[in-house]
């Protein structure tokens, strides 16, 4: 039986109850919150393994909650699955850029929600096993456990998504990855996100890498790779 702790945040009682029932039935430990402010307090008081987060909340909205959790060293490693009626592309892209691991729109299937949660948790578990495996590529030193990138002795200020993108490419220098593969690896499977979202992240990452930005090569018509 699963014993991970999940925080469910939604201001609709029927949705909250539906999610609670299905996740408890699957063996997860649950905490429920009906507002953004309460959710942040709950997460900081008892850090969850994963947060199921609505966007339209009283007080702090879901994007603000996501930002606060990802910027707090205590809670930044908690996975976030956004569950919301706001399914427009800009909302999805914004959620992913802020650090969400998956994005599910309402109405939803409880079985699909459960499957996506399990996929996110499996991926997080796999990542945790290699958190101490420091990567050295060219003059980059990547510390997965600390979410830190150092170039020529200087630490870079990368977002959560930028770090995961760089780490994914750096693990296999010379391998070419399509944009959809990058999205699947960095955020999980099944996203309704365009190629533009990946391109925007790569542009921002290259700027922060400075002269080392050329290590991330564009393979025209395919995707990206880390230069060997």
- 218: domain CATH number? 1.10.10.10
Query: Sorting pLDDT into bands at 50, 70 and 90, what band is 189?
Result: very low
CA distance 6 to 23: 8
* Same domain? 107 vs 203: no
* Same domain? 153 vs 210: yes
* Same domain? 90 vs 141: no
Q: What is the pTM of this model?
A: 0.62
Last residue of a domain, one of 84, 106, 129: 129
Last residue of a domain, one of 104, 129, 154: 129
CA distance 141 to 133: 11
149-163 mean pLDDT: 89
* Same domain? 107 vs 162: no
C-alpha angle 169-140-182 in degrees, rounded to nearest 5: 15
* Same domain? 140 vs 35: no
Last residue of a domain, one of 98, 129, 160: 129
* Same domain? 85 vs 170: no
* Same domain? 76 vs 104: yes
Q: Please give the sequence-ordered ranges of beta strands (E in DSSP) within 125-215, or none if there are none.
A: 135-137, 140-143, 148-151, 154-155, 177-178
* Same domain? 115 vs 48: yes
CATH label of the domain that carries residue 85: 3.40.50.2300
Least confident of 59-68, 88-97, 125-134, 203-212: 125-134
Q: Is the pLDDT higher at 161 or at 35?
A: 35
* Same domain? 121 vs 144: no
* Same domain? 14 vs 76: yes
SS3 33: strand
Contact 91, 106 (CB under 8 A): no
Tell me, rounded to whole angstroms, the distance of Cα 9 from its chain centroid.
Answer: 17
Query: Sorting pLDDT into bands at 50, 70 and 90, what band is 131?
Result: low
* Same domain? 155 vs 187: yes
Containing domain of residue 105, as a range? 5-129
The CA R_g of the chain, rounded to the nearest whole Å, is: 18
* Same domain? 13 vs 100: yes
188 contacts: CB under 8 Å, gap ≥ 6 = 101, 102, 116, 119, 120, 123
CA distance 36 to 58: 7
Least confident of 10-14, 35-39, 122-126, 190-194: 190-194
């Amino acid at each position: 039986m699963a014993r991970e702790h999940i925080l469910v945040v939604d201001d609709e009682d029927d949705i909250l109850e539906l999610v609670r029932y299905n996740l408890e039935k699957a063996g997860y430990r649950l905490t429920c919150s009906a507002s953004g402010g309460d959710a942040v307090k709950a997460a900081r008081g008892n850090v969850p393994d994963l947060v199921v987060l609505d966007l339209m909340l009283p007080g702090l909205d879901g994007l603000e909650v996501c930002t606060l959790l990802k910027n707090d060293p205590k809670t930044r490693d908690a996975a976030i699955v956004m569950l919301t009626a706001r399914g427009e592309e800009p909302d999805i892209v914004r959620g992913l850029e802020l650090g969400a691991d998956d994005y599910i729109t309402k109405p939803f299937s409880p079985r699909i929600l459960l499957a996506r949660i399990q996929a996110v948790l499996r991926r997080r578990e796999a990542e945790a096993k290699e958190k101490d495996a420091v990567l050295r590529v060219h003059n980059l030193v990547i510390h997965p456990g600390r979410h830190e990138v150092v170039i020529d002795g200087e630490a870079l200020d990368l977002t959560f998504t930028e770090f995961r993108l760089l780490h994914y490419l750096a693990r296999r220098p010379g391998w070419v990855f399509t944009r959809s593969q990058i999205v699947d690896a960095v955020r999980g499977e099944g996203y309704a996100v365009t190629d533009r979202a990946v391109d925007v992240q790569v542009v921002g990452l290259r700027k922060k890498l400075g002269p080392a930005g050329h290590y991330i090569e564009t393979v025209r018509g395919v995707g990206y790779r880390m230069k060997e």
